[in-house]
Amino acid sequence: MAQQQNLLGGRYLLKDKVGAGGMASVYRAVDQVLDRTVAVKIMLPQYASDATFAARFKQEAQAAAGLSSPYIVGVYDWGKDGDTYYIVMEYLRGTDLKSGIRSHGALDPKKVAQIGSQICGALSVAHKHEIIHRDIKPQNIMVLPDGNIKVMDFGIARAKNSHLTQDNNVLGTAHYVSPEQTRGQELGPTSDIYSLGVVMYECATGKVPFDGDDAISVALKQVNELPVPPSQVNPNVDGDLERIILRCMEKDPANRFQTADELRRVLNSYLAGRTVDVPEPTRVIGAAGAGATTTRVMSDSTQAMARPVNTTSRPVGGAAAVNTQARQFDTSSYNTKPEGSGKGKIVAAVVAVVAVVAIAIFAVSGLFAPAEQVIIPAVVGMEQEVAEATIRQNGFEVGDVTPGASDEYPEGTVIEQHPTADGVQTAAKGSEIDIVVSSGPEEAATTKVPDLSQAENEEDARNMLIAAGLEAGSVTQEGSDTVEEGKIISQSPDANEEVEEGSKVDFVISLGPDTTPVPDLTGMTESQARNALTDAGFGMSRDEAYSDTVDEGYVVSWNPSGSQESGTEITVVISLGPEESEPETPTTPNTPDSPETPSTGEGSSDIDLTGMTKAEAERAIGAAGLTASFSYADGTQVGVDPDHVISWTVSGSTVSVVVAW
């Protein structure tokens, strides 16, 4: 396509298309300024001229760019080129989690918990920026070559303070959406936690908990049915992990883990082998989020919506009408007659069809007429009693009142409200406003630092830290004579020290014994040899010996050689020169009239050239008043170094010498 040749923003050269989503296509590209490969998301042409979609696309870039986490895909840049918008992101090599599950099936429980913990790390950062992802699913989780993950695609994420018009479309994928998302209600962090629970369920079992022929039937199961316990699908799933997953998937958001940090702490405890204090899941179905209090215990085979005590609902746009309509019928009351009663069956069937059709129509098109809308009052920062009075005075009801830790607001003060009052926002008159009341500053959770000296290698040490809810800090290397290569020499903070969760731990990895090559001392004087050894970190001891080949004061040999540990003492032998001997009776050189006295170099009484170089042999022959004649041969066969004498013969006044080449 022509667009592939574009140089977006005068900087990003598009290469090839690597993916596509509902609003945009993704290309691999080269950043020509920084010379690096990046991923560029480009809004589809049909949406580029739509102001609402353009605003959402721009908001995605701004929101995602503010998120910094090792578990979130980095956003580098964004802009507009001509009529289209684009976002520049980190280019990842790996595979999405969905493909991994399809290839390998159910994962090991510990791996499931590790993946869940890392996703929690990403969600924690997003939620602290008041951003709800809204589309947590395996397709949006990238598994990197090192086994870690990154959360992708904030394409339908929405910040809580967004002023974009809210519609009733059910966003996200039906297999992973929370019940409140299916109903079109206000979403919070617990909605992402529900979706994460579904992801962990699929990782642990290889199957999604709810499936159907179409998105609507699956979404209805999210609301009306309980999941089959993971251990019944995969017996390898232990009870602790099962309770964690099922608590994430509670129908009532209040019964789930309330923050990503809370869930992460529990998963890290599970990874570390500590006791996991998670209650058994609720095996009931109720009118979650609708103000109803009566629930009905469900069997594992048949699960339907329970009968509420009243029809009071919490409307959110058209959602109020749907939920009220569905809850006005109690399907269980129509099945009390004997099996032969056709009337009861007919009524129950009609009721079920009406309820399903009502919800389906809402989910697809949001056709129900909203109630009277009034402006939402802002109560954040008020004392609880004043806030509740203000809510009622403005035509609303006080919904759920939950405690929450806060460093900013004093105890007893409202720190959050749902729905929010940012800008000029409205909601149905008579609907509920939930508030979160400060319980004071949150006490930081602590954990014990693991003993990294027990780790097999760096990767093992990092996994131990993750399991303890900690992070690796500075990692350095140094030599050690006592710690095996690859093992941990030291750490800071120390093992078993109590620190805040999320703290960083520095550690030092052993390179093994610290060795250095002993320098070559050939041709050095004693002083030069001592300086060379000192500079290399060695000591020196002196020895001496006579030598016919090395001048006095120079190095004859040294031991040990090769690579040695720093500080090793090297014994250096210094030459005393040739050893003096008793004067010999001079011999008369052979003359042409005298018989020849050949020599092979062994025991010659005339001259001894053993161990000499060519030059030394030539000087010795000349000093004896003889004439030298040289030839060359391969010295390796007899173990003689190059340029040294192999053998010689004396014939008259001529000494024929064979020298190694």
Annotated binding site for ATP: 41
Question: Among 126, 261, 253, which Cα is nearest to 187's?
Answer: 253
Tokens encoding 259: 């923050």
- DSSP, residue by residue, 498-522: EEETT-EEEEEEE-SS-EEEPPP-T
Enter the tokens of residue 281.
């899941």
Q: State both tokens at 354.
A: 């009406």
616: Cβ contacts below 8 Å, ≥ 6 apart: 549, 609
Three-class secondary structure of residue 392 per DSSP = helix
Encoded tokens for 328 = 């006005």
In a 10 Å sphere around its CB, with 0-12 CB exposed, 13-18 middle and 19+ buried, how is residue 55 labelled?
A: middle
Q: Which residue of the set 135, 153, 192, 261 is catalytic?
A: 135
Task: Identify whether 135 is a catalytic site residue.
Answer: yes
Burial of residue 458 (number of CB atoms within 10 Å: 0-12, 13-18, 19+): middle
**Contact present, 144 and 94 (Cβ < 8 Å):** yes
Paired tokens of 364 = 């697809």
CB neighbours of residue 312 within 10 Å: 17
Instruction: Identify the three-state secondary structure at position 450.
Output: coil
Whole-number Cα distances in Å, 339 to 296, 306, 353, 363, 485: 22, 22, 20, 34, 76
Q: Contact at 8 Å (CB) between 371 and 320?
A: yes
Is residue 356 exposed (0-12), middle (13-18) or buried (19+ Cβ within 10 Å)? middle
Supply 544's token pair: 């001496």
Across 423-578, the runs of DSSP E, i.e. the strands, are: 426-428, 432-438, 446-448, 471-478, 488-492, 498-500, 504-510, 515-517, 539-545, 555-559, 563-565, 569-575
- Which DSSP state fits 237? S
Among 148, 154, 147, 149, residue whose Cα is nearest residue 127: 154
Annotated binding site: 41
Cα separation, 198 vs 200, in Å, equals 5
Q: Which of 364, 358, 391 is nearest to 377 (CA)?
A: 391
Residues 6+ apart with CB under 8 A from 118: 71, 148, 149
Please check whether residue 235 is in contact with residue 106, taking contact to mean a CB–CB distance below 8 angstroms. no
| Strands of the sheet with 471-478, listed across from one edge | 471-478, 504-510, 488-492
Strand ranges inside 5-113, DSSP E:
7-8, 12-20, 24-31, 36-43, 75-81, 84-90, 95-96
Helices then strands, counting H and E runs in the chain, come out as 16, 31
366 CB-near residues (< 8 Å, 6+ apart): 167, 168, 169, 184, 317, 318
Helix axes 109-128, 260-271, angle to 10 degrees: 150
Catalytic sites, residue numbers: 135
